Structure 1
Amino acid sequence: MTDELGFSDFAIPYARGASYPVRSGNVLRPLIDGEPAFRRVCEAIEQAKISVWATVTFMWAACQMPDGRGSPLDVLSRAAERGLDVRIIFWRPDPETEYLETNAFWGAPEHVERLKECSSSLRIRWDRAQPGYCQHQKCWLIDAGTETETTFLGGINLNPHSVVAPGHRGGKNQNHDVYIELAGPSAVDVHHNFVQRWNEASERHLADGRWGAGSESDLPFPAKVPERKGNAIVQIQRTIHRGRYSNGHAAPQDAAYSIEDGERSNLEQYCAAIGAARRSIYIENQAIDVPEIIRCLRHALQRGVEIAVLMPAEGKLHELFADLAAFDNFTLAGIAGLGDDGKRNPVWIHAKLMLIDGEWGTVGSCNLHRYSLFGNSELNAAFWDRETARALLAELLHEHLDRDISGLNDRAALQLFGEIARHNRRLFERGESKWQGLAFSLPPLS
């Protein structure tokens, strides 16, 4: 099957342990930073004809959507008032994760009051994860089951720190993040994932576990794969905790679907992709603390692969990163925006993406830490598409370096990234804020 899809043109293997198959014929559109991403999500909601479904991990009361659209609930309520089927699955923390309740819309009395002020037409189910873990998927599905089915997935949360403009000028405490818009055959797998979560949401039988007329009803699984929209090969990959779901209903067409033992296709894909890299690896992630991943990166460096990793400047690094810093072909960097006072403000890297050899990438909710790789519920789209991989790298490095790298190959682009990041580091250490772009190199154990 993979030869028919054109896999012979790519060196990166797919995840054989995934619930969902590899599908060709997709179109992808990267959306960098929260303001452009949610502007596009809102446009799709406003153009929707049938339904809007979303999975939400964190949502703050102070969050406002772009261009004066109001809160996320305002946007969704207007869609419901137009007669659309609007459903949201919110994460509800358990006692082990209750410290995160202040960031989540978990069904507290004040949340119920907010819903009463909005629209009774919304349909909501709350869903816990395995104890100590998180329902961390973030996706939006527009007009599910139709030929115009479109989905958005990534890592961006609904909070004021995340709904920010590219370039990160002005205020402090900003997040850098990424979504990807997907249409075509693989959208059916995001659809299937939503139905599975909706139908088996842990709190659905509790009096306070759902909201809205119709929220008591389950959804049918998708039965039809959308038609081709482009040329990208995509596989939807997940982390699902062992024993999380009992429903074994297969996804349509070609899926060998069974997750009784859970799913770790995100981990499988990350390791396989790093292991197959020949020229370059570019990573943006807020945490990398799994030794398997760091060892894979070390082996790639030994093969001569150029690697650049963008992480939070104020984050804690695993001790194994010290070994990577010994390689000349390794760059570890953060980014900092220019404040209104002329000083640099560190930007938190919340994106979860990897790009390899200018031909493969993954974008989603999965961090490279043990929670995302072994216990949370996570959702990523891995893609084999040179056009998307190169365009995403060019757009990211244009923001981070203030340079057009579209004329460079992937390896040369990361070498330039390292040069500029190291130069900006020297300026930072001298207290100078007039950098080129945002990126500056980090000590390996900062």
Structure 2
Amino acid sequence: MWLSRIPVRKIIKRTALAVAAVQAATIGTLLVVDHRRKRNRAPAVFPRVPARSVTAGTSEVTVYTYGEDLFYDMLGAIRQAKHRIFFETYIWKGDAVGQSFKQALIDAADRGVDVYVAFDEFANLVVPRSFFHFPDNVKVQRHPLVGGGYRFLHPRYSGRDHRKLLVVDDDAAFLGGYNIGSLYATDWRDTHARLTGDIVWDVQNAFIDYWNLSANKHRIPDRGSLHWQPTIRLHRNIPRHFVYPIRGMYLEAIDRAAHHVYLTHAYLIPDEDMLRALIQAARRGVDVRIIVPAESNHIVADWLSRGYYSQLLRGGIRLFLYQGAMVHAKTATIDGQWSTIGTANIDRLSLTGNYEINMEVFDRDVARQMEHIFEVDLSNTIELTLEKWHARHAMVKFSETVLTPLRPLL
């Protein structure tokens, strides 16, 4: 009877506080475990696929799966630049690799190249502020820690700049999942692409549009393209405009799948529509395989992702856990015809939150290369079966359940 004397609001409030306390304790425990795990982690060892170029329409696509190879070619392009460089990144470490990029950009500006640099302040809070001091001949735009003034909580202004791209003159463009730093050069398995030909204009335009959204000075003149590129398209999430085409790109491609869908993603936290599309594809006989890290760099994201494993496995989707290194790629290839490489993860922050960029390619040769990379990555995985998944410890299941309400945040 004593419960009837307690106001319903108090019961709800106490319950909410109790749940929040358990969630906080769970997250705290996970972070402690993660800190110890990272401190004792062995050097990364994983199979590599040499960079290879294939022609796609009027452009050439080179796919990189190892950071040192990519950074060597990016720095080479910067050092050969004659007219203009656009450089945009999410994380930019102040270590030896980061310093080499900074110096190459400064050297280019000193020899008369127009150099534009954009980076995300939030992602680089742990990097010394002095690292981001550039001479006046380098034009710098910081994606603000808090944007939009009093409107900072509005979705138009809360997105991070999660893009990673480089454009040098009209000659070459690079985009994909790699951040800039020594860790990413050797210890992470990621995917990036180098593009030449007509598609370079599209990447230039993507940078110019982003830059001019916030530029109070040093605005970059827009210019139209003489060519339309039917084989490769760029999709850009632009929170300021409430435009999120990458999610739609994925849903449409998965809906068309008739034979196989191969996804490699660092963080797999699908919304209901994405989850439904993957399961429906599997149920109509499509071979749906997803590679995710056995242990990512964000342990809370791992545990939120694992909350979907039961549904995915019961739906006929095969899950593979990447071993020995953090796999940070954001790629997919479908039916030997369609592929995407970019910066967007399968989670809310990427698909309906941040500034992102993905290339969509309709080309069999590119798809063949992406399938080969997927097969090599698959050789470094352990398949997670439904039986194995159900056998996990009861405390693990409880912790996953406790964190379920946090899924929409990521």
Question: Shift of residue 321 of structure 1?
Answer: 2.6
Q: Map 1:44-55 onto structure 2 (within 5 A).
A: 44-55=77-88
Instruction: Measure the CA separation in 2 of the matches of 1:312 and 1:227.
Output: 37
- Of 118, 121, 136, 2:162 maps to 136
What's 1:382 paired with?
Answer: 360
Q: Which residue type is aligned with residue 441 of structure 1?
A: E
- Of 286, 308, 319, 1:332 maps to 319
- Of 189, 196, 207, 1:176 maps to 189
Q: Map 1:336-415 onto structure 2 (within 5 A).
A: 336-337=323-324, 347-398=325-376, 400=377
Mean alpha-carbon deviation: is it higher for 127-136 or for 33-42?
127-136
What's 1:305 paired with?
Answer: 286
What's 2:105 paired with?
Answer: 76
What's 1:281 paired with?
Answer: 261
Instruction: Measure the CA separation in 2 of the matches of 1:268 and 1:360.
Output: 15
- Of 60, 80, 85, 2:114 maps to 85
- Identity across the alignment (%): 24
What's 1:122 paired with?
Answer: 138
Mean alpha-carbon deviation: is it higher for 45-54 or for 359-368?
45-54
Residues 438, 291 of structure 1: CA spacing in aligned structure 2 closer, same or farther, 3 A cutoff? same
Counterpart check, 1:159 vs 2:151: no
Count residues with an aligned counterpart: 315
Instruction: Measure the CA separation in 2 of the matches of 1:104 and 1:307.
Output: 39
What's 1:195 paired with?
Answer: 208
Residues 367, 104 of structure 1: CA spacing in aligned structure 2 closer, same or farther, 3 A cutoff? farther
In structure 2, stretches of 5+ residues that fail to align are 1-55, 148-155, 296-301, 393-410
> Which of 1 and 2 has greater Rg?
2
In structure 1, stretches of 5+ residues that fail to align are 1-22, 94-99, 165-173, 206-215, 245-259, 338-346, 401-416, 418-436
Question: Shift of residue 324 of structure 1?
Answer: 2.3
- Of 72, 84, 90, 1:57 maps to 90
Superposition TM-score, scaled by structure 1 size: 0.65
Superposition TM-score, scaled by structure 2 size: 0.71
Question: Shift of residue 190 of structure 1?
Answer: 1.6
Mean alpha-carbon deviation: is it higher for 45-54 or for 303-312?
45-54
Instruction: Measure the CA separation in 1 of the matches of 2:257 and 2:185.
Output: 33
Instruction: Measure the CA separation in 2 of the matches of 1:79 and 1:334.
Output: 42
Contact 2:143 2:160 in 1 (8 A): no
Contact 1:52 1:86 in 2 (8 A): yes
Residues 318, 275 of structure 1: CA spacing in aligned structure 2 closer, same or farther, 3 A cutoff? farther
Instruction: Measure the CA separation in 2 of the matches of 1:104 and 1:327.
Output: 43
Instruction: Measure the CA separation in 1 of the matches of 2:226 and 2:257.
Output: 31
Question: Shift of residue 87 of structure 1?
Answer: 1.0
Residues 80, 138 of structure 1: CA spacing in aligned structure 2 closer, same or farther, 3 A cutoff? same
Instruction: Measure the CA separation in 2 of the matches of 1:80 and 1:373.
Output: 35
Q: Deviations over 1:321-346 (max 9, x none)?
A: 31221356x32112223xxxxxxxxx
Question: Shift of residue 312 of structure 1?
Answer: 1.5
Q: Which residue type is aligned with residue 68 of structure 2?
A: E
Q: Which residue type is aligned with residue 209 of structure 2?
A: Q
Say which structure is richer in helix.
2
Question: Shift of residue 103 of structure 1?
Answer: 4.7
- RMSD between superposed Cα atoms in Å: 2.4
Instruction: Measure the CA separation in 1 of the matches of 2:193 and 2:112.
Output: 27
Q: Which residue type is aligned with residue 314 of structure 2?
A: A
Question: Shift of residue 102 of structure 1?
Answer: 2.8
SS at match of 2:160: coil
SS at match of 1:89: strand
